[in-house]
Structure 1
Amino acid sequence: MRKYDPFIQTLICYLFIVLFIYAAVSKLMDFENFQIQLAQSPLLSVYAGFISYAVIIAEIVIALLLCYKRWRLIGLYASFGLMIAFTVYIYLILNYSDFIPCSCGGILEKMGWTEHLIFNVVFVGLSIIAIMITRESVKRKLFLKLIVIGILSVGCVVILFLQSEAKMSKQNPFIRKYLKDIVIGKHSYKLKNNSHYFIGVTNNKLYLGNRFAPLYVTEIDLDNYQSRELIIKIDQDDFPFRTVKIFISSPHFFLVDGTVPVIFKGDIKTWEAKVLSTDPTLYFSKAVISSTDELFVRKQDFKTKQNILARYNLAPSVQQFTTTSILGEATQGIFDTDGIPLFDLQQNKFLYVYYYRNNYTVANKNLDVITRSHTIDTTRLAPLKVITNQQNQQKLLNPNSVVNRLAAVDNGLLYINSTKKGQFEDNQVWKQASAVDIYDYQKQLYKGSFYLYDVNRQKTNEFIINNNNLYAIIKNQLVVYTLNTKIIQ
């Protein structure tokens, strides 16, 4: 067989040359997509920029080394090391990854990951055969070199994997990790108009309010999605209501209006409400309720003109317990502390997500700060343009500076719809979908992201999470997404 060695060795070198050149050219021809695919890798996301260039350069350089007899042995050792690295990467993807991403393109684009692994193992074997032929005799030194190269290749991939995981979780350089197959079901239901908002979920019923008809409630049965219209009856209707909001804290509901210092309380069985309080201090701009009949409001301090938080107990009568300035001092008018108040019923925690910066605050029900954390977005504070009119009112001239547009919380997980595109994200997809980032706010960890696709070119108006379901209102559509919580956890 020795007379066929040169032919076998040359054939193997040509196979590697074709493989590497074709793979490199394929990546270069669709380089942006290659970077996007690497950025979605669950193992190497943080290093997508560096690796995208390094892999292509390595493939071209190795192919050139294999073309010249003088450098062929070095090229074969490099081929062995690179194929070992690729093989270890695929092994980690199949066994230690949260999800299986798309392929990295090139000659193996149509292969599954298991076939991909087998293909790589075969080429590792071919490189060893070619090295043995080139060396003419098998010696201990040859095997030692192969072992050292193999260990270095495995070590590099494992270190990149561990470093990438750490940075993605706590020091993310704004690279999203999109979770595959997180949405395992989707249903759409047409609403009568586009003025609905979420009131809450209780007893397997979803309740929607109506901004244009503030005393009308839509009740949707979550078993069959049949709906019925309910009308709230109040015992006093001579208040100058402007922005009525309804909250459910089963078995009660509350009707409030931050521009009018009045609170109504009623029973969801009868939908009849009576005035609970006309506390003159109950002016506010945002509010959220807990399951223990506590109302958390964001209001403005009349002396400092800063946004502050307050907690009111609504049972049996209204009593203010806490007023706090944990939102921080506003340096660009009141808008840089503007945001979304949330309450996690399962964890009994209050959260505040800022609109114009990459921050959120977690507090207990007494509004004592537990943690202040940040999202993966890098916008520490959006450049806001604020003016003061003749009535001494502050106006925001660039409302499109919003960073965190929508947010919801459920059992320790915070879901944020960010308006900012991360690195290596597809522009075309971004135009027709909204990104939702998931955080374990108790561990201050970024878990991953997924897309909420537009409906008839309309973005999601708002969403809530309940029992593994995400309910979204998109114009006049109620869209229900069933989430795969195994992937999130």
Structure 2
Amino acid sequence: MKNTTLYLKTSAVYFFILLFCYAAVSKASDFENFQIQIGQSPLLSAYADSISYVVIFTELLIVLLLIFPRTQIAGLYSSTALMSAFTLYIYLILNYSDFVPCSCGGLLEKLGWTEHLIFNIFCVLFGIAAVFISEKYSMRSYATITFALLCSNLLSCALIVFLFLDSEYIIKKENNFTRRFLMHPLLKTHTADLAHTGFYFAGFSDGRIYLGDRNFPQNLISYDTALAKSDQMKIDLDVTKHVYRKLEIKIHKGNYYVYDGTVPILMRGTIGNPTVTTISYNDAFFTQMEVLNDYTFGIRTQSSKTKELLLGKIKIQADGKNKVELFSNLLQKQKDGVFDSDGYLSFDQSRKTLSYIYTYRNQFLIMDTLLQLQRKASTIDTIKTAQLITESLSDGRHKIKNIPMKVNGRGISYGGLLFNPSELRGRNESVKRWKNNTVVDLYNTTSNEYAGSLYIEKDHNKGMSDFIVTEKHLYAVIGNRLVRYQLTHSLTKHFNTGKPKTVPESRHNY
């Protein structure tokens, strides 16, 4: 009997030496990939840099404890506690996490998470049995041994729970530029070939996707949602009356709107009818426009006095005396008030909120349809101040003297989420995957929380140039292809399409 118990103890010692030695060596030999996996962990991503070293060090320390007879019992206690921590870690991932990262590498790489959980439970039970066998001939009572096991295992599990709760808070509220990628948020379902690469999304209406054409700006192309059938319409414009330089089209509820930032004009037409009517002329110059409703338009313009960028709105009046309101306190100047305030407007029809995301810093604004500021929030990168150098010219214009660091792309708001194509690689993010994909970060516009990220694969090294989001799909222009992706539950569960309470006009205090 004594030989049997001794054999079991020796087997446990050798088993854990082999397990932890192999695990530590495999992690250290592919350390960069191990850090990336830890960075994608829903429990440990905020601590990926330090945890990656601590795990390897702990495993090697346990191996050393197990090698020497005097410290073998301490090694078995430590082995059991560490495996309990790993077991709880997997349980939390499977039951309480939106993100399920890749399994750890090495010997157990091909095991699924459930099989991994079963293996870990076996290791914990094996370790507990080995501890009792090793302590059999000591002066300690079973109660003392049990208490020591409970304390060591509960302490290790408590550490995992703490890391989980604290990491969740840091990632969602105080992110240090660590991304978490949603599990299969998009399914590529259809593609359509485009004539060239100059297309952009004009909008979505009545089950059809509309594309504008920068090469032929009077053309409006529409596709059904399956991308099977397309139609084209040429808008009638008197190009001799105005010198247009940058015509763009927006679609809203059966109408299309044509505007040009170099000409203070806004025209409206009905989809299917190429004839347009001018609804605003000489009211305001503007470089960006979003349709808030049939008669109100959010704009980004420039102050005639300071030359700084401003947000505002144009309200179309029945008597033709349109009303223009500018809000000088929405965009915050950091250096010149022009380039440092550059960004993109987007209107969320489902939430009736207008967003503005800065190009060169980690901030975005959420406003209601009256352009009252609801909240400011930050993206997960760490660039708080625009990294650019500007100089003022004699005519009041500004010029960039360096190549600025672009932080955010053209963000799109839909369903209470801001979809932001980020220009920067996150911490512990695979360089290869980042180069081969366009990264889109998602932010909850009501809770100011980071919701996750997704990849959109490039096509022959050409990234996504524009995209649009609907209730069930994401459509993207990638090179000269129009691609449809189906949204899966891992993404749509973050939607919040309930309309916020509207603010009466009398409460507008700007």
Q: Is TM more than 0.5 here?
A: yes
Amino acid at match of 2:188: G
Deviation per CA, 1:69-124, whole angstroms, max 9, x where unpaired?
10111111101110100111111111111132211212211111111111111111
**Where do 1:39-438 residues align within 5 Å?**
39-136=39-136, 139-234=142-237, 237-279=240-282, 281-314=283-316, 316=318, 317=320, 319-325=322-328, 326-389=330-393, 391-438=395-442
Question: Are 2:361 and 2:385, in contact at CA under 8 Å, matched by a contact in 1?
Answer: yes
- 1:37 Cα deviation after fit: 0.5
Bigger shift: residues 456-465 or 323-332: 323-332
Question: Are 1:204 and 1:223, in contact at CA under 8 Å, matched by a contact in 2?
Answer: no
Question: Are 1:333 and 1:394, in contact at CA under 8 Å, matched by a contact in 2?
Answer: no
Question: Are 2:204 and 2:252, in contact at CA under 8 Å, matched by a contact in 1?
Answer: no
Evaluate the alpha carbon distance shift between residue 460 and residue 141 of structure 1 in structure 2; reply closer, same or farther with a 3 A threshold: same
Query: What TM-score do you get using the length of structure 1 for normalisation?
Result: 0.96
- 1:486 Cα deviation after fit: 3.9
Question: Are 1:24 and 1:106, in contact at CA under 8 Å, matched by a contact in 2?
Answer: no
Deviation per CA, 1:107-151, whole angstroms, max 9, x where unpaired?
211111111111111111111121111112562100111111121
Bigger shift: residues 129-138 or 386-395: 386-395
Measure the CA separation in 2 of the matches of 1:119 and 1:195. Answer: 54
Which stretches in structure 2 are left out of the alignment for 5+ residues?
Answer: 495-510
Deviation per CA, 1:427-451, whole angstroms, max 9, x where unpaired?
1111111111000011101000011
Query: What TM-score do you get using the length of structure 2 for normalisation?
Result: 0.92
- 2:500 corresponds in structure 1 to none
Question: Are 2:192 and 2:227, in contact at CA under 8 Å, matched by a contact in 1?
Answer: no
Measure the CA separation in 1 of the matches of 2:46 and 2:396. Answer: 47
- 2:476 corresponds in structure 1 to 472
Measure the CA separation in 1 of the matches of 2:321 and 2:334. Answer: 29
Question: Are 1:286 and 1:298, in contact at CA under 8 Å, matched by a contact in 2?
Answer: yes
Measure the CA separation in 2 of the matches of 1:287 and 1:234. Answer: 19
Which stretches in structure 1 are left out of the alignment for 5+ residues?
Answer: none
**What do you get for the CA RMSD once the two structures are aligned?**
1.7
Measure the CA separation in 2 of the matches of 1:122 and 1:70. Answer: 25
Question: Are 1:356 and 1:381, in contact at CA under 8 Å, matched by a contact in 2?
Answer: yes
Deviation per CA, 1:16-63, whole angstroms, max 9, x where unpaired?
000000000000000000010011111211111111111111110101
- 2:506 corresponds in structure 1 to none
- 1:441 corresponds in structure 2 to 445
Amino acid at match of 2:8: I
Evaluate the alpha carbon distance shift between residue 61 and residue 73 of structure 1 in structure 2; reply closer, same or farther with a 3 A threshold: same
Question: Are 1:412 and 1:440, in contact at CA under 8 Å, matched by a contact in 2?
Answer: yes
Amino acid at match of 1:37: Q
Deviation per CA, 1:321-379, whole angstroms, max 9, x where unpaired?
42101112342351000100111111111111000000001111111111111110100
Measure the CA separation in 2 of the matches of 1:292 and 1:155. Answer: 56
Secondary structure at the aligned position of 2:61 is classed as helix
- 1:192 Cα deviation after fit: 1.0
- 1:269 Cα deviation after fit: 3.0
Evaluate the alpha carbon distance shift between residue 174 and residue 398 of structure 1 in structure 2; reply closer, same or farther with a 3 A threshold: same
- 1:20 corresponds in structure 2 to 20
Bigger shift: residues 254-263 or 355-364: 254-263
Deviation per CA, 1:363-408, whole angstroms, max 9, x where unpaired?
1111111111111010012321223456543222445521002211
Evaluate the alpha carbon distance shift between residue 136 and residue 234 of structure 1 in structure 2; reply closer, same or farther with a 3 A threshold: same
- 1:223 Cα deviation after fit: 3.8
- 1:315 Cα deviation after fit: 5.7
Secondary structure at the aligned position of 1:144 is classed as helix
Measure the CA separation in 1 of the matches of 2:293 and 2:266. Answer: 17
Measure the CA separation in 1 of the matches of 2:451 and 2:206. Answer: 30
Measure the CA separation in 2 of the matches of 1:219 and 1:419. Answer: 29
Could you list the structure 1 runs, at least 4 aligned residues long, displaced by more than 6 angstroms after superposition. none
